[in-house]
Amino acid sequence: MFARKPLNVLLSAVLVTIAGGAQAASTNFAIFTPLAASAGATATPATPITLSSPNFSQVSIADRTNQLALGEANPGNWDMIAMNTSGPDANRYLFMPFEQFDATNPAAGVQRIDLLNGFATKTIVAPGTLGFTAGDASRWTPWGSYLTAEESFSSTAASASNTKGRLFEITNPTAAVGSINFVERSIIPRVSHEGLVFDSNKNLYFIDELNGGGIYKYTSANANATNGDDYFAAGQTFALKVGAGANSNATGAYTWAAITDANGAALAGVNLTSTGAVDGRQGQDAIASTAYNRPEDMDIANLANGDEAIFVATTGTNEVYLTNLTTGEMSVFANANTIDLATGLAVGSAAFTNPDNIAIDSEGNVYIIEDRNGGVDDDIWFAKDINHDGDLLDAGEGVARWASNGTPGSEFSGLFFDPTDPNKAYVNIQHPTGGVDRTMMITAVPVPEAETYAMMLAGLGLVGFAAARRRSVK
């Protein structure tokens, strides 16, 4: 005979089942009504984002004013976000560089937000360490460390004065603040860094943020290394070349043209900087690889057919490209001709302007973040690729304004979707006029699906039956 359970236990079981079903569902960030226009200036800096759904909410989890009050040296310009998705305390911390541009007074560093300890925010790489300038890139490695890099890079004809454009690794990013190990990885050619991404074979891709910048791949001689010393000890760097390269065509079949040998040494015709590093920018010119107009951020996903693809934003041409690593084809994913789902018409370059960052949610949806003016026209666009085939050309597909930034003088930066929670994301409000950079947490309230409602009703029916039976038993 089954023992009777109290009503509150039965009800709790129903609610747990419902909650579990909602949590297992795909992200609710994809359920929204497109914003018709950019937001104006916000009246409340702590809630600066106009969101496209009443089921989305925002909260400021870190700000520069608080950092300064706690004695943290922080010049602002908070940039790209990454999370420790493996290793000790996995998924506990957010990491981001602060991006101070000042060659005479380098002040860039790295900070860490503790998601499990009241969002405590600590500077883990002090401003100007190793001359670090204009920190921008942000990526967790396959072996469990953190990479960042400098956006600052300026070439002369012979690269004689170039000392920036460097890639750095924090080998122990979750350690105590005073124990952090911050090292340069000099085998990576010098460029103006922003986007970094690893593919399934652990190749590292990066860009040169320049009008005429290239897209690069570094292949380690020890791809399965368990530490950065071994991964960066030896390897070869290539630049992407569509067809004949240079400016002949930005799309079509591509190849990877080498600019270094297998040990990372410059090939003939490729210059070195004054520090002896390979000048990636000049190397691109030397082999006539394809020149893009300010390639910036990138992220990677698998298409529905299993192809691995990198999405690359090019700010200067208002485009997002798809680099299919499986087929070796480069194509346009989104541009001014893409349909605006709010109007049914081409979005146009007046609305879809200066795509900068790329982010991908738990369902593989692509988000495109603009480098524009907060309080005027700085938006995040959702790319609706219904069949996830890597284009937005099918019926019902296009882009939709997902969020808008209302903080004057600022821009969105570093949108990152939490891999442990499909309904949580983080984004920075960078370099506002008021000087208070912020990290915002955006949450989507889970909305039960049809089968979940049915389960709920069935559960409530069970509770009602139990109650009636209990009344009948004397």
pLDDT surpassing 70 at residue 90: yes
φ, ψ (nearest 5 deg) of residue 164: -110, -160
| Angle subtended by helix axes 450-472 and 7-24, to nearest 10 | 170
Gyration radius from the chain CA atoms: 24
Element spanning 469, H or E? helix 450-472
Q: What is the pLDDT of residue 4?
A: 34
Would you say residue 17 has pLDDT above 70? Answer: no
State pLDDT tens for residues 370-418. Answer: 999 999 999 999 999 999 999 999 999 999 999 999 999 999 999 999 9
Tokens of 248: 């002949």
Residue with tokens 């791809």, as numbered in its chain: 223
Residue-range domains of the chain with CATH? 26-445 (2.120.10.30)
**The predicted structure's pLDDT at residue 446:** 75
Task: Copy the structure tokens of residue 43.
Answer: 């009246």
pLDDT grade, residue 102 (50/70/90)?
A: low
Quick check: helix, strand or coil at residue 329? strand
pLDDT grade for 105, boundaries at 50, 70 and 90:
confident
Check pLDDT > 90 for residue 464: no
**Cα–Cα distance, 57 to 46 (Å, whole number):** 12
For the ranges 66-80, 112-126, 216-230, the lowest mean pLDDT is seen at 66-80
Mean pLDDT value across the chain? 89
**CA distances from residue 99 to 127, 305, 369 in whole angstroms, order as listed:** 10, 38, 18
Question: How far is CA 345 from its chain centroid?
Answer: 28
pTM of the complete model = 0.89
Please report the pLDDT score of residue 462 as a whole number: 42
Report the percent of the chain where pLDDT is more than 70.
86
Summarize pLDDT for 129-161 with one digit per residue, the tens. 999 999 999 999 999 999 999 998 875 544 445
What are 415-418's contacts with CB under 8 Å, separation 24+?
415/81, 415/357, 415/359, 415/367, 415/369, 415/380, 416/81, 416/82, 416/83, 416/94, 416/359, 417/27, 417/29, 417/359, 417/360, 417/361, 417/362, 418/83, 418/91
Q: What is the mean pLDDT of residues 82-103?
A: 91
pLDDT at 469: 45
Q: Do 332 and 352 touch, CB atoms closer than 8 A?
A: no
